[in-house]
């Protein structure tokens, strides 16, 4: 018998859950104006609490969303956030119980996948989450950048209130074209754009060509000291940048690099394959300061997830039989025949066997089955099975999400 129980939270308990979560990150409770923004992000039935003697000791929640998968399909997605267990209750099964309840709720609500951003990398693999996308952080020395081209369209600043609706519309048009992107819920935008302090609010620039908007940039400028020493340089931080075309993408970056009285341009969470260096006269002006895991993906419904995406049709590539193990959602356990024509569940013996978190890492195409085999993350039964799986799961573009939550 456990000494705690798991319950769905109601709106009278959301603030306590929010305070508990912030406490696990060593932050104080949100002030009233900050809580007003956060309150609207809680969805009925999507937040859980762990209780001991009616005292809240842990919490987890999710936002309703969608995810783009290889081939152009978009599947129901749960964005998991605000996971925390009170420090005096850690390592007593509370998080495991919360995860079990949440995963069962995803099955019941029809979510095909779930994702999260992990504060610690050793926690979530045991619950079936695997690293499926990566991002990089860049810093550009503006004095050395010397862009090789100029803006060809029109980039204009827009006010925050009308700009919010504009960028939301552009994001919804552009983002699903890239594998790994997710739908952003209304509270994501309000919390990101409408901070309590006006000094923290970002600026919005929109690019257009022939009278049609085709991309946007959200950024903040952090003032420094404007003197020769540059001991505290003024920095322009690119927060969010999406474009419908390569031309729009280039113009928006050129706009960011062209803002006067700025020493550095920085951006966190950008695609690892974004060709920023090729815009610059001195490519060494752009430094990758970090490359990190981004999306931790959980396949909630393995048959539906495998069937939703497409597979590369390469001449001579035979199907592969993949055996999946899933401790937390055992209905997913089984063997799946994957071919260019689709996916079916079979009773045949598998040709390679892996845990559901490892399959999640390979699902969007960021890591190959051969790499996972070489690092002993899966069991190879037939020696050529990883190569066949590589060919079938290959994608033309590195997956990327671009949304932090």
CA distances in angstroms from 179 to 68, 291, 309, 402, listed in the order given: 5, 19, 10, 11
- Three-class secondary structure of residue 126 per DSSP: helix
Cβ 74 vs Cβ 114: under 8 Å: no
Helices (H), 8-49: 14-24, 32-39
The answer to whether 405 is a known catalytic residue is yes
Nearest partner of 142 among 271, 276, 289, 256, judged by Cα:
256
What are the b/e assignments for 40-69, b being 16+ CB within 10 Å? ebbeeebbbbbbbeeebbbbbbbbebbbbb
How far apart are the C-alpha atoms of 340 and 334, rounded to whole Å? 20
- Three-class secondary structure of residue 193 per DSSP: helix
The answer to whether 336 is a known catalytic residue is no
- Catalytic: which of 21, 42, 48, 124? 124
Cβ 64 vs Cβ 46: under 8 Å: yes
DSSP assigned state of 367: S
Q: Which residues contact 354 (CB under 8 A, 6 or more apart)?
A: 322, 323, 324, 325, 372, 377, 378, 379
Q: What share of the chain is helix, strand, coil (3-state, %, to 5)?
A: 30, 30, 35
Nearest partner of 215 among 182, 185, 175, judged by Cα:
175
Cβ 302 vs Cβ 106: under 8 Å: no
**293 phi and psi angles, rounded to 5 deg:** -70, 145
Cβ 321 vs Cβ 380: under 8 Å: no
Cβ 109 vs Cβ 304: under 8 Å: no
What does the angle CA 211 – CA 271 – CA 166 come to, to the nearest 5 degrees?
Answer: 30
Q: Which residues contact 297 (CB under 8 A, 6 or more apart)?
A: 113, 114, 115, 129, 130, 131, 132, 133, 360, 361, 363, 364
* Residues annotated within a binding site for acetyl-CoA: 83-85, 91-96, 119-120
Residues noted as catalytic: 124, 405
């Amino acid at each position: 018998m456990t000494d705690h129980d798991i319950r769905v939270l109601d709106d009278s308990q959301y603030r306590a859950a929010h305070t508990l979560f912030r406490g696990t990150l060593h932050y104080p409770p949100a002030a009233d104006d900050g809580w007003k923004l956060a309150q609207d992000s809680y969805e009925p039935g999507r937040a859980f609490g762990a209780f001991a003697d009616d005292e809240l000791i842990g919490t987890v929640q999710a936002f309703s969303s969608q995810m783009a998968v290889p081939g152009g399909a978009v599947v129901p997605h749960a964005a998991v956030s605000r996971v925390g267990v009170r420090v005096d209750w850690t390592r007593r099964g509370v998080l495991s119980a919360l995860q079990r309840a949440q995963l069962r709720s995803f099955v019941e609500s029809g979510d095909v996948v779930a994702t999260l951003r992990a504060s610690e990398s050793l926690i979530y693999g045991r619950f079936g989450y695997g690293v499926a996308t990566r991002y990089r952080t860049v810093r550009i020395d503006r004095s050395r950048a010397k862009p090789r081209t100029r803006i060809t369209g029109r980039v204009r600043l827009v006010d925050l209130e009308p700009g919010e609706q504009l960028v939301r519309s552009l994001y919804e048009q552009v983002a699903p074209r890239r594998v790994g992107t997710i739908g952003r819920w209304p509270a994501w935008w309000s919390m990101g754009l409408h901070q309590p302090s006006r000094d923290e609010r970002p600026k919005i620039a929109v690019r257009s060509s022939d009278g049609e908007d085709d991309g946007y940039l959200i950024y903040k400028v952090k003032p420094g000291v404007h003197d020769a020493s540059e001991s505290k340089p003024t920095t322009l931080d690119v927060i969010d940048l999406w474009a419908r075309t390569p031309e729009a993408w280039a113009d928006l970056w050129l706009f960011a690099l062209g803002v006067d009285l700025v020493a550095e341009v920085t951006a966190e969470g950008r695609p690892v394959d974004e060709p920023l260096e090729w815009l610059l006269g001195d490519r060494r002006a752009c430094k990758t300061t970090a490359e990190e895991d981004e999306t931790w993906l959980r396949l909630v419904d393995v048959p539906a997830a495998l069937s939703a995406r497409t597979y590369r049709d390469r001449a001579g590539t035979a199907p592969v039989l993949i055996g999946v193990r899933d401790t937390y959602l055992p209905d997913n356990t089984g063997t799946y025949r994957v071919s260019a024509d689709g996916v079916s569940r079979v009773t045949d013996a598998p040709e390679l066997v892996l845990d559901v978190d490892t399959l999640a890492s390979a699902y969007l195409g960021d890591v190959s089955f051969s790499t996972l085999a070489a690092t002993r993350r899966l069991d190879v039964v037939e020696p050529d099975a990883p190569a066949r799986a590589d060919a079938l799961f290959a994608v033309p573009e590195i997956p990327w999400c671009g949304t932090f939550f």
